[in-house]
Structure 1
Amino acid sequence: MAKAHFLVSVDGRVVTKNFLPVLLSASITKGVDKTADAAQFDLDDSGGTLRWPQTGQKVHVELGRENGAIRTFDGEVDTASWSLNRGSGSVLSVTARSVSLKGKAKASKEKHWDSKPLKSVLQDAGEDAGISVSVHADYADTVLDWEAMDAESFIAFGERLAREHGAIFRISGTSAVFVPYGKGVTGADLSAFTVTRSILLSASGFAPVTDRPRIKQKVETYYDLDKASRLAAQYASGDTVDADLQSGFSTSSKDHADRRAKSGARKAARDKAEGSVVINGDATPQPGGKCILSGLRAGVDGTYTIKSVTDELSRSSGYTTSISLSEPQGKAGQDSR
């Protein structure tokens, strides 16, 4: 197995050699339900000699395998905290995020659009926040009859539209993406990743099927002006249960209701499984892509959607990758013995 690759720079200056003697752990976390990526450092602060980091400092991190896949992070310091106890001693913890939480991206805005495609709406909102937005072709030309930012920040606005369209919305620096699960901005499918016992370090919290989030169909209501009546749009989840789920608030149009019903049904399908695996460090798996569990046990083996990944380098465990899973597919949750 190739050696781990680790690099960190602060404000454009490579400081890896300075970090390594005091590094307890470093991690990069990316997820489909996380608008911003995060990097976390725990540093040995014995004697309180480390210089206190300033928020807003630019951070670049690389973590992966030499001559292999590398996970990268670009962002800025968001939080620095300190702790002291008998077990771990004096620890300085630093968190960085891929979006500035001091900038315009979190500023509340009042703005609306009439009969505009989703791509134009997101790019217009992003321009005000200083962020360029790439929208996948599946959503780019979807015309919104009416849309508004009602005292919403660009971050909150993008997250809401992602929920309503069943998309992934993520920001990195001054760029954002709005893409379907399992695909990149270019339209190419994300590669599936296979986990076998040979690379598995641990598996925990596995519930390949849990009944709480399961629904037969998602129901969204809307008011039809021509018919002067309240109507409903449904979208079947494909699950074999009897319960429907209806939202408490009506949408503005049938198209809007159809989108929310479809997104809600697909979310229910994703949420009906949970579990995580820790493997030997590998930066290949991507949030939103597929993970195939093979040879673990009947009922657990199968295909899942990757919810989040965390690459970590630590003194105690070396380089590991944690993968959080959802959306069981194939034979996941089935035991035919």
Structure 2
Amino acid sequence: MSKWIVDWSVLINGEDISQDLRPYLMNISATDKAGFSSDGCSLALDDRAGQIKLPSAGHKLIVKLEGQKIFEGITDRPDSSGSRSGGQKLAIKAKGFDERSKVKQPLFFHKDDATLEGFMKVAAKKAGFEIKVDPAFKEIFRDYWPANGESFLALGQRYAKEHNGAFKIRDKVAVLLPLGAANGLPVIKCTRPGNIISWRIKPRDLKRVFSGGSARYVDREKGEVVEVKRPYKADEIEDTALNAIRSTASDEKQALEQIKARESQGQREKASGTITIDLAPNAQAEGLCQVEGIKTGIDGTYRIESRTHKASRGSGATTALSLKDPQDGAGKREGKKAATPSPEPAPKPSGDGLNRNGRTGTQQ
């Protein structure tokens, strides 16, 4: 049996069970994604003898690679798979929060003349959670906030999408914050030659490029629907192409907030790609990734949309990064090279066969 060459540890409810798992654990996969997708982890166990006891759901799982925590969440029900010739496997899966909680329970309430933070705190309390709202979002004010059968999870996802933010739940604490903001996360350097294993990067995607945005709102005084338009700061196309928002906002302020969110979303979506490197346990979603050594236009800084750590018995470990938001030269075309000047023709010899330097015309 091949041995692990990567240091790992698994804790269940605070108890280290690494030694008990060592004969059975085949591989580890842990994913952290920005936006409003939950963190995920999967442990694949060799269960060919059928001796592994089925673990219960709802346990707190912590996984570490090379001494660094790469996942913390709540276990789900195990998944058994196999075939006649392929043996039998047991997968222990986990998410960032307990799906058996009230996180998906429909809520029916409303709040008048309140901020987004105040509304979401009420929703979180009803579902049995706490929430931290970033200062960039907490003062967003509306005269009416409804929860008409939407769950706490659905509300957080909706407002995160509306304002180009991230909504994440880990254990009993939720966070709502803007995407692309300064966050102090470690910067991951990807170099070639160096730690890059493979890559596939498209630094500019014109399908998501717009020159401006438009949104509609209800003007209550006039009793009509009004459309507002705003140009984007980064204009990369000559023709006017507006990113029109289909839903109707309640007032002009909300309509302008939606246009601003779509502009930042468009900037983020200008690049797409993946890069696989040697294991980088400190890589996290929303951190920055610096790519160097590939070529001009590809090299630069990107935002990490998601990261997946994979470790296998006998095969080492890798980190796969999904990239967005090109910066620092990423996607910029190389400027035109200066034309090499052609040499000037040699001067013709004078009538006496001598040049000014005293040499004959044949002694150039």
Fold in common (TM above 0.5): yes
Aligned equivalents of 2:116, 2:134: Cα separation in 1: 10
State the aligned residue count: 327
Instruction: Report what 1:98 is aligned to.
Output: 96
Which structure has the bigger radius of gyration?
Answer: 2
- Give the SS at the match of 1:248: strand
Alignment-derived partner of residue 133 in structure 2: 135
Q: How does 1:162-241 map to 2 (within 5 A)?
A: 162-183=160-181, 188-197=183-192, 198-204=194-200, 206-237=201-232, 238-241=234-237
Work out the CA distance in 1 between the residues paired with 2:166 and 2:211: 24
Distance 1:305 1:87, change over 3 A: farther
CA RMSD between the two structures = 2.0
Q: Is the 8 A contact 1:290 1:305 kept in 2?
A: yes
Gap change, CA 1:194 and 1:86, over 3 Å in 2: farther
Segments of structure 2 that go 5 or more residues without pairing to the other structure are: 336-364
Contact 1:35 1:171 in 2 (8 A): no
User: 2:241 is aligned with what amino acid?
Assistant: A
CA distance 1:85–1:258, change in 2 (3 Å): same
Distance 1:50 1:259, change over 3 A: same
Q: Are the counterparts in 1 of residues 279 and 318 from structure 2 also a CA contact under 8 Å?
A: yes
- The offset of 1:4, in angstroms, is 4.5
Look up the match of 1:319.
317
Tell me, yes or no, if the aligned pair for 2:36 and 2:160 is still in contact at 8 Å.
no
Percent identity, aligned pairs only?
28
Q: Which residue number corresponds to residue 263 of structure 1? A: 261
AA in 1 matched with 2:332: Q
Of 143, 148, 151, the residue aligned with 1:145 is 143
CA offset at residue 87 of structure 1?
7.2
Instruction: Give distance in 2, aligned partners of 1:286 and 1:234.
Output: 36
User: What SS is found at the alignment partner of 2:207?
Assistant: coil
Q: 1:145-196: per-residue Cα shift (whole Å, max 9, x none)? A: 221112111111001111112211110000011122244xxx7543432211
Question: Is 1:19 aligned with 2:45?
Answer: no
Separation in 1, partners of 2:7, 2:179: 28
Residue of structure 1 equivalent to 2:8: 6
Moved over 4 A (4+): none
Moved more, 318-327 or 71-80: 71-80
State the 1:32 CA deviation. 0.7
- Report the Cα offset of residue 316 of structure 1: 4.9
Relative distance call for 1:235 and 1:89 in structure 2 (3 A) is farther
Letter paired with 2:203: P
Structure 2 residue corresponding to 1:157, chosen from 155, 158, 164: 155
* Deviation digits for residues 288-321 of structure 1 (CA, Å, limit 9, x no counterpart): 1221111122331112111011122212531221
Partner Cα separation in structure 1 for residue 210 and residue 83 of structure 2: 47
Report the Cα offset of residue 235 of structure 1. 4.4
What TM-score do the two structures reach when normalised by structure 2? Answer: 0.84
Whether contact under 8 Å (1:169, 1:176) holds in the other structure is yes
Deviation at 1:332, TM superposition (A): 1.5
Q: How does 1:27-176 map to 2 (within 5 A)?
A: 27-63=29-65, 65-66=66-67, 70-85=68-83, 88-176=86-174
Q: Distance in 1 between matches of 2:271 and 2:177?
A: 22
For the residue of structure 1 that corresponds to 2:153, the secondary structure is helix
Deviation, structure 1 residue 108: 0.9
Name the TM-score, length of structure 1 as normaliser.
Answer: 0.90
Give the distance between the partners of 1:251 and 1:17, measured in 2 at CA: 57
**What are the ranges of 5 or more consecutive residues in structure 1 without an aligned counterpart?**
none
| Alpha-carbon distance in structure 2 between the residues aligned to 1:240 and 1:158 | 33
Q: Is the 8 A contact 1:22 1:45 kept in 2?
A: yes
CA contact (8 A) 1:182 1:189 kept: no
1:87–1:161 Cα change, 3 Å: farther
Partners of 1:218 and 1:18 lie apart in 2 by 57
Q: What CA deviation, in whole Å up to 9, does each residue of 1:88-128 have, x standing for no partner?
A: 53221221001111110111111211111121111111111
